[in-house]
């Protein structure tokens, strides 16, 4: 294996397990989050949400709220500052009397305290003219359509060869429908913004995944030049996609602050987040696989339905993963979309791949059973030399290494393939496997580094650390590229003043920022070398931007890969499923910080378990909303649900991903996990679970149906 990486010979920072550089600040409470900036004369806003699923506002009796203690103002569509278009219709808050979904923002009450604001918001009488709503996601809806593109910018449909012909002619076929429910993002820290105007200059402290992106949106919404808006998000308590773009608080707080000429903080409650920050679309998917008796695929056909709102088209890339996974001469993927009277679905960890892999990797297991072929072997037999859809080379692809390494570590080779025959008391036991993948993209970012006269370096980049450990990984990368120790680096992030940079999203953050840091560091080292290391008293600064390099990147397929192995125990009487053991082996480029990387991968796998067994937002079709709006009604896997999780990675040096060799690890951990669990449940019970989550009632029903 070769490498273009050329770290300084003295590097002792990257690939070394490193405790978070902000650990002390966090555990001592010194790290400040968006709702922890206490500004002079600050007022508090509380969001009022629509109580109909579709219609118009007829009257808002704001006098009732204004008469309550401490209330300063009620903002609604009649008196809200006008907003310009920022490319997201859902951010046009309080601009019209129309209501597009239950829970939409219809007013903001501002008061001297957050309690007063909330009391008045809850008492505010609003009457509506209600129209009929339609919130039922289904595949036979007359308004199902084919979007032109799916996220982030893929063609909606792809086709190679003749799938239908190959399917009809094949020796072995699998054809099944799979479904995944709507799921809601629940980062620890709810969305929050503290806003302050100084004349026509706006500063916001906001919880987001990228201050640059929020900065651009605010400039557009409020028609402000770039230099007049400052977005600070030094510490962020989770996002998972729900903070990947500006969300309502960062629009409402500046509006209210402008109107009152006081700083205003707007925070969301956990319950409000269920309507206002996006969620994972439900999916209904069909996968058809055809193979010969040796297990070589002749056709792969993946059809995916998902939903969007009537305001914004959000077309998730559910079937796109099937374009890269397995060699087959006939390959078709198609997406269908349905716009309903619901909030717009948004990104949620591995959007597309997470639900898409449940269908594809379940179907692969069904095919393996049909062929009486080991499911690991089936995947290895269909390993492609080139991208199956399009024929481009992979920058690196080590799925087979992950499957083999995982088989060894997990003890897979001793597995008896027959389903429904292992018992431990009341438990039926089974094991399952699935492949995983996630794109390894890079996005242009800029970075500034200042060499100080004392020999230390200040690195400034508009990166975000959502709790992932990005701040630590970037400090390690900067130290390596500059050839110094961690203690010589002061890394500053989460401030839009530092220039444009990628968000912490799409598993692209650390790779994209690391590249910009590396570029600036090399430039600075060159200048220092030329000057014999002399630094003027005021310091020596350089800035970088990676746009040119990224635009010039070769047209190859960049992906991380992985293999998920799980063991389950199923109680056929209660329907309970336990997951005592999980193993994930990943090929994800160079690992910067093994400590935080392991946490990221374990976190993703834990969420995969949660997705497989628990997470489900339940639509009340009459009412027009998801019913479970809190963590009592929406169960996220907790400690007691999780067994042993082991994570490993295979050595991978990818010359073409980017100069840092990083692929990104935030999302791949959740991909394939749910399929591995469903496949293990089949192995334990002999019954396929094609709908998530695998609830006890579904286990019991499948056993009953089979008699």
Catalogue the active-site residues. 667
Output 183 or 567, the one with its CB closest to ligand MOS.
Answer: 183
Within 13 Å of residue 550, how many CA atoms lie on the same side as its CB? 21
Least distance in angstroms from the C-beta of 321 to ligand MOS = 14
Output 288 or 663, the one with its CB closest to ligand MOS.
Answer: 663
Encoded tokens for 44: 């508090």
C-alpha to C-alpha distance for 653 and 591, rounded to whole angstroms: 10
Annotate 82-143 with DSSP letters as a single string: P----S-GGG-TTS-SEE-STT-EEEEEEESSHHHHHHHHHH--EEEEE--------TT-TT
Output 231 or 428, the one with its CB closest to ligand MOS.
Answer: 231
542 in Cβ contact with 524 (< 8 Å): yes
Is the bond leading into 152 cis (omega within 30 degrees of zero)? yes
Least distance in angstroms from the C-beta of 289 to ligand MOS = 28
Counting contacts by CB under 6 A, is residue 247 touching ligand MOS? no
Least distance in angstroms from the C-beta of 101 to ligand MOS = 21
Binding pattern to ligand MOS, positions 332-371, x when CB under 6 A?
Answer: ---------------xxx-x--------------------
Output 286 or 599, the one with its CB closest to ligand MOS.
Answer: 599
Residue owning tokens 């009152």: 260
Encoded tokens for 390: 């399009």
Counting contacts by CB under 6 A, is residue 244 touching ligand MOS? yes
Per DSSP, which regions of 549-679 are E strands? Answer: 559-570, 577-587, 619-620, 625-626, 644-649
How far is the CA of 665 from the CAs of 277, 441, 643, 672, in angstroms? 23, 11, 21, 14
**Which listed residue (343, 506, 669, 672) binds ligand MOS by CB under 6 A?**
506
What HEC string does 152-185 produce?
A: CCEECCEEECCHHHHHHHCCEEEEEEEEECEECC
Encoded tokens for 607: 């969420």
Least distance in angstroms from the C-beta of 503 to ligand MOS = 7
668 in Cβ contact with 560 (< 8 Å): yes
Least distance in angstroms from the C-beta of 606 to ligand MOS = 16
H/E segment holding residue 545: strand 540-545
C-alpha to C-alpha distance for 12 and 390, rounded to whole angstroms: 41
Least distance in angstroms from the C-beta of 242 to ligand MOS = 8
198 in Cβ contact with 228 (< 8 Å): no
311 in Cβ contact with 104 (< 8 Å): no
Output 277 or 582, the one with its CB closest to ligand MOS.
Answer: 277
Backbone φ and ψ for 624, nearest 5 degrees, come out as 90, 30
Least distance in angstroms from the C-beta of 442 to ligand MOS = 14
Name 286's bridge partners.
177, 303
143-168 burial, b at 16+ Cβ within 10 Å, e below that, comes to: eeeebeebbeebebbbebeebeebbe
Backbone φ and ψ for 337, nearest 5 degrees, come out as -135, 150
Binding pattern to ligand MOS, positions 138-177, x when CB under 6 A?
Answer: ----------------------------------------
Least distance in angstroms from the C-beta of 381 to ligand MOS = 32
Counting contacts by CB under 6 A, is residue 603 touching ligand MOS? no
C-alpha to C-alpha distance for 106 and 43, rounded to whole angstroms: 19
Q: Interface residues for ligand MOS in 210-239 (CB under 6 A)?
A: 239
Number of H-type helices and E-type strands within the chain: 16, 28
Encoded tokens for 197: 């105007």
Backbone φ and ψ for 192, nearest 5 degrees, come out as -155, 150
Least distance in angstroms from the C-beta of 346 to ligand MOS = 8
Encoded tokens for 213: 């992106």
Total of residues contacting ligand MOS (CB under 6 A): 11
**Which listed residue (13, 209, 283, 546) binds ligand MOS by CB under 6 A?**
209
Q: For ligand MOS, which residue has the nearest CB?
A: 241
**Which listed residue (181, 241, 439, 661) binds ligand MOS by CB under 6 A?**
241
Output 193 or 208, the one with its CB closest to ligand MOS.
Answer: 208
What HEC string does 376-407 produce?
A: HHHHHHCCCCCCCCCCCCECCCCHHHHHHHHH
Within 13 Å of residue 474, how many CA atoms lie on the same side as its CB? 33
Residue closest to 307 by CA, chosen among 279, 276, 286: 279
C-alpha to C-alpha distance for 482 and 488, rounded to whole angstroms: 10
Output 351 or 494, the one with its CB closest to ligand MOS.
Answer: 351
Pair type for strands 457-460 and 297-309: unpaired
Backbone φ and ψ for 118, nearest 5 degrees, come out as -70, -45
C-alpha to C-alpha distance for 675 and 347, rounded to whole angstroms: 20
Output 484 or 601, the one with its CB closest to ligand MOS.
Answer: 601
Output 106 or 508, the one with its CB closest to ligand MOS.
Answer: 508
Least distance in angstroms from the C-beta of 559 to ligand MOS = 15
Residue closest to 466 by CA, chosen among 270, 237, 141, 234: 237
Output 208 or 689, the one with its CB closest to ligand MOS.
Answer: 208
Least distance in angstroms from the C-beta of 505 to ligand MOS = 3
Counting contacts by CB under 6 A, is residue 505 touching ligand MOS? yes
C-alpha to C-alpha distance for 267 and 218, rounded to whole angstroms: 18
Counting contacts by CB under 6 A, is residue 509 touching ligand MOS? no
Cα 535 vs. chain centroid, distance in angstroms?
Answer: 42
Output 607 or 649, the one with its CB closest to ligand MOS.
Answer: 607
C-alpha to C-alpha distance for 291 and 169, rounded to whole angstroms: 10
Least distance in angstroms from the C-beta of 615 to ligand MOS = 15
Residues whose CB is less than 8 angstroms from the CB of residue 245 and which lie 6 or more positions away in sequence, other chains included: 88, 208, 213, 214, 217, 346, 503
Output 238 or 624, the one with its CB closest to ligand MOS.
Answer: 238
Least distance in angstroms from the C-beta of 277 to ligand MOS = 12
Output 254 or 351, the one with its CB closest to ligand MOS.
Answer: 351
Q: Interface residues for ligand MOS in 377-416 (CB under 6 A)?
A: none
Instruction: Catalog residues that contact ligand MOS under the rule CB under 6 A.
Output: 209, 239-241, 244, 347-349, 351, 505-506
């Amino acid at each position: 294996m070769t490498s273009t990486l050329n770290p300084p010979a003295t590097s002792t920072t990257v690939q070394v397990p490193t405790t978070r550089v902000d650990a002390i600040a966090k555990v001592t409470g010194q790290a400040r989050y968006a709702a922890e900036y206490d500004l002079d004369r600050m007022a508090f806003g509380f969001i009022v949400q629509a109580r109909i699923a579709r219609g118009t506002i007829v009257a808002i009796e704001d006098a009732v709220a204004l008469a309550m203690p401490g209330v300063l103002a009620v903002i609604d569509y009649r008196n809200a500052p006008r907003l310009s278009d920022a490319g997201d219709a859902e951010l046009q808050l309080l601009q019209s009397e129309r209501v597009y979904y239950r829970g939409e923002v219809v007013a903001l009450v501002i008061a001297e305290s957050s309690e007063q604001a909330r009391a008045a918001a809850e008492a505010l009488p609003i009457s509506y003219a209600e129209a009929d709503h339609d919130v039922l996601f289904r595949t036979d809806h007359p308004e199902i359509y084919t979007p032109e593109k799916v996220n982030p910018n893929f063609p909606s449909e792809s086709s190679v060869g003749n799938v239908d012909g190959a399917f009809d002619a094949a020796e072995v076929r699998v054809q099944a429908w799979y479904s995944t429910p709507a799921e809601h993002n629940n980062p620890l820290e709810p969305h929050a913004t503290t806003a302050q105007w100084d004349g026509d200059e706006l500063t916001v402290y906001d919880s987001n995944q990228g201050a640059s992106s929020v900065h651009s949106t605010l400039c557009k919404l409020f028609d402000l030049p770039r230099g007049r808006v400052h977005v600070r998000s030094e510490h962020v308590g989770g996002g998972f996609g729900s903070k990947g773009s500006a969300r309502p608080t960062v629009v409402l707080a500046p509006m209210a602050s402008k109107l009152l000429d006081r700083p205003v903080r707007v925070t969301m409650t956990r319950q409000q987040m269920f309507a206002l920050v996006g969620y994972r679309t439900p999916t209904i998917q069909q996968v058809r696989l055809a193979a010969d008796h040796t297990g070589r695929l002749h056709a792969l056909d993946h059809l995916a339905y998902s939903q969007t709102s009537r305001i914004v088209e959000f077309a998730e890339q559910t079937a796109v993963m099937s374009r890269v996974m397995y060699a087959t001469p006939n390959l078709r993927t198609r997406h269908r979309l349905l716009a309903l009277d619901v909030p717009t679905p948004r990104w949620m960890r591995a959007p597309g791949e997470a639900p898409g892999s449940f269908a594809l990797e379940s179907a692969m297991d069904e095919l393996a059973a049909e062929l009486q072929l080991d499911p690991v072997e089936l995947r290895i037999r269909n390993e492609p030399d080139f991208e199956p859809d399009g024929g481009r080379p992979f920058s690196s692809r080590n799925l087979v290494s992950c499957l083999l390494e995982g088989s060894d570590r997990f003890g897979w080779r001793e597995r008896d393939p027959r389903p429904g025959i292992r018992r431990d008391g009341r438990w039926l036991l089974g094991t399952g496997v699935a492949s995983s993948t996630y794109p390894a993209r890079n996005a242009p970012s800029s970075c500034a580094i200042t060499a100080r006269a004392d020999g230390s370096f200040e690195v400034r980049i508009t990166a975000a650390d959502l709790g992932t450990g990005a701040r630590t990984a970037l400090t390690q990368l900067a130290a390596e590229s500059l050839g110094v120790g961690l203690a010589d680096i002061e890394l500053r992030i989460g401030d839009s003043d530092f220039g444009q940079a990628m968000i912490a999203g799409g598993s692209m953050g650390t790779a994209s920022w690391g590249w910009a840091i590396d570029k600036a560091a090399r430039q600075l080292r060159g200048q220092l070398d030329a000057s014999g290391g002399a630094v003027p008293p005021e310091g020596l600064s350089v800035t970088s931007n990676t746009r040119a390099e990224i635009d010039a990147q070769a047209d190859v397929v960049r992906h991380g890969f992985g293999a998920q192995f799980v063991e389950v125990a199923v109680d056929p009487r209660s329907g309970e499923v336990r997951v005592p053991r999980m193993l994930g082996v990943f090929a994800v480029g160079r690992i910067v910080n093994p400590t935080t990387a392991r946490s990221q991968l374990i976190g993703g796998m834990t969420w995969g378990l949660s997705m497989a067994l628990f997470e489900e937002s339940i639509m009340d079709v009459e009412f027009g909303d998801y019913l479970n709006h809190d963590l009592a009604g929406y169960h996220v896997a907790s400690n007691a649900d999780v067994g042993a999780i082991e994570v490993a990675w295979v050595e991978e040096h990818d010359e073409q991903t980017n100069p840092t060799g990083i692929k990104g690890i935030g999302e791949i951990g959740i991909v394939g996990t749910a399929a591995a669990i469903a496949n293990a449940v089949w192995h334990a019970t002999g019954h396929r679970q094609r709908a998530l989550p695998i609830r006890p009632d579904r286990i019991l029903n499948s056993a009953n149906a089979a008699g």
